Amino acid sequence: MLFGEDSLKGLKKELKSAGADMSFVKSWQKTFDKVKKGCQQMESQYTQAKTELEQVHTILKKMEASLIEMKSDVENSVHRTSLGDSAKELKKYQGHFNQEFLISKEDKEFHLTYQTILELCSKGCKEQKDVLILQSEVENILAVTEEALDKEWPSYRAMAYFYIDRTDREIFDLPHSDKVVEVNRIYENEFLTPMRQVLTKCFDEQKVNDTLEVDVWN
């Protein structure tokens, strides 16, 4: 059985004829509509957030290069100007890339380091010790940013289902890989499996297993 929008109406008639619990089917369809809409939103949000975090990474690398040069020539106006311009760009992107499976808004250490970099830049790097402190902070946040850009996240469908009635706080304390597993598990167990069970009871099991995941979003 297919779950594309054109076939859902017909499927409901077949399920009703087969004796399925139609209150469950109607409830599932409402959730299906929410997940489908949320899936598009998740994809848009994460695509945009990753693009902006990539921009931040580029800015941080430029800032790092300026700081390396400044260690041997603190008073060089070219490097100081470059550093100031980079800081302005960082401020523009601050908070724009917060997504749980990229950079969590609950990651206080990351956001504190980000703010510290901006504050250090505003004070200026007048001595080598200032340059070294700022360079250390930039290197720290660069490492986190690079790691974040390599992260995988759950399917957009799974995230859309998860966020219908859950929040980031429910998974923030988990290691990243466990967050991914948990969100995918919830989607599978709470959304797909119950409908599979209904379909299996009403129709051929092999057909159900072959088509539900593949065609539900067509």
The pLDDT of residue 2: 41
* DSSP labels, 100-164: TTTB-TT-HHHHHHHHHHHHHHHH---SHHHHHHHHHHHHHHHHHHHHHHT-----HHHHHHHHH
Instruction: Check residue 99 and report its DSSP letter.
Output: B
In this predicted model, what pLDDT tens digit does every residue of 135-177 receive, in sequence order? 999 999 999 999 999 999 999 999 999 999 999 989 989 999 9
Q: Is the pLDDT of residue 186 over 90?
A: yes
Tally of domains within the chain: 1
Domain that holds residue 112: 5-215
Q: Look up the pTM and report it.
A: 0.81
The pLDDT of residue 213: 52
Amino acid making up residue 86: S
Q: Is the pLDDT of residue 4 over 80?
A: no
In this predicted model, what pLDDT tens digit does every residue of 26-63 receive, in sequence order? 899 899 999 999 999 999 999 999 999 999 999 999 99
Token pair in block for residue 26: 């109607």
